[in-house]
């Protein structure tokens, strides 16, 4: 089980395939998605990877979070999320993920927070049919109708579909197809709509109802076991170096 990624929803557009058919797509942008912490069986009882994305000002970050990010030697992040992974898919703290983690044609599940619609009635919220337009009905055309019982049990059941807040809930859209990946711009094009408003954060992970694509690569920074015949891959620019970190300066430039 591989880790997922955190992305920001940019909006929707359309692209055209080789036959000229248009495909509605949602654009997700991934910038600076880094490993902030790692959960292991020895210390936490399970294996997971905690990712962070975005940049947050230090004066807008509380003391506990500043210490958490300083321990990982990464800049403060706007959004942090955790993904369960298997033992062989644990990553190094500070490793940065690329959109190449997903490939075209792969199916993914996208998790986001839906748009808030405020307080709505039963017809809009639950698609009720409403009462009759005439024949004795007046002023109550969009009313809910009876909600309880007479004597037994004589109460309204919990969870009854009634008026209330609509939207602003966590929602998962499963089995969405990736139709394109732009590594240079850090974009992922997904066929169809994903939950949430533009500029909202979403979580992308391998689809539960489909097998992982055979050509789906492991993310950059994955731990590789040392073997006599193989040399572990060197991941360049995997760890973000803080601005105040000391650097080696050539002798001729130290003046």
CATH entry 3.20.20.210 includes domain 5-115+168-253? no
Residue among 46, 95, 45 nearest 72 (CA):
95
Give the pLDDT confidence score for residue 237 in this predicted structure: 42
Is 204's pLDDT higher than 90?
yes
CB 72 within 8 A of CB 94: yes
Per residue in 87-128, pLDDT (tens digit) is 888 888 888 888 888 888 899 999 999 999 999 999 999 999
Q: How confident is the model at residue 31 (pLDDT cuts 50, 70, 90)?
A: confident
Stretch 206-232: mean pLDDT: 63
Give the pLDDT confidence score for residue 244 in this predicted structure: 59
- Return d(Cα 212, Cα 4) in angstroms, integer: 12
Q: Where are the domains of the chain?
A: 5-115+168-253, 117-167
Stretch 17-35: mean pLDDT: 91
Q: How confident is the model at residue 160 (pLDDT cuts 50, 70, 90)?
A: very high
Give the pLDDT confidence score for residue 229 in this predicted structure: 45
Is 179's pLDDT higher than 70?
yes
Q: What are phi and psi of 227, to 5 degrees?
A: -130, 155
- The pairing of strands 79-84 and 116-120 is unpaired
């Amino acid at each position: 089980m591989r880790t997922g990624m955190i992305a920001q929803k940019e909006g929707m557009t359309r692209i055209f395939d080789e036959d000229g058919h248009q495909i509605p797509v949602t654009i997700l942008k991934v910038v600076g998605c880094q490993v902030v912490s790692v959960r292991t069986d020895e210390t936490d009882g399970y294996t997971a990877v905690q990712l962070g994305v975005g940049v947050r000002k230090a004066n807008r970050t509380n003391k506990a979070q500043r210490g958490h990010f300083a321990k990982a030697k990464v800049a403060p992040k706007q959004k942090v999320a955790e993904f369960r992974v298997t033992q062989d898919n644990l990553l190094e703290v500070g490793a940065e993920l690329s959109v190449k983690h997903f490939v075209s044609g792969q199916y993914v599940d996208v998790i986001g927070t839906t748009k808030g619609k405020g307080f709505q009635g039963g017809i809009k919220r639950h698609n009720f049919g409403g009462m009759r337009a005439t024949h004795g009905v007046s002023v109550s055309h969009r009313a809910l109708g009876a909600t309880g019982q007479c004597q037994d049990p004589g109460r309204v059941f919990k969870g009854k579909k009634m008026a209330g807040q609509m939207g602003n809930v966590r929602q998962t859209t499963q089995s969405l197809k990736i139709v394109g990946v732009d590594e240079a711009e850090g974009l992922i094009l997904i066929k169809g709509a994903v939950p949430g408003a533009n500029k909202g954060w979403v979580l992308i992970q391998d689809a539960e109802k489909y097998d992982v694509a055979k050509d789906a690569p492991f993310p950059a920074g994955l731990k590789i076991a040392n073997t006599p015949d193989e040399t572990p891959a060197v991941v360049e620019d995997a760890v973000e170096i803080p601005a105040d970190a000391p650097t080696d300066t050539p002798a001729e430039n130290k003046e």
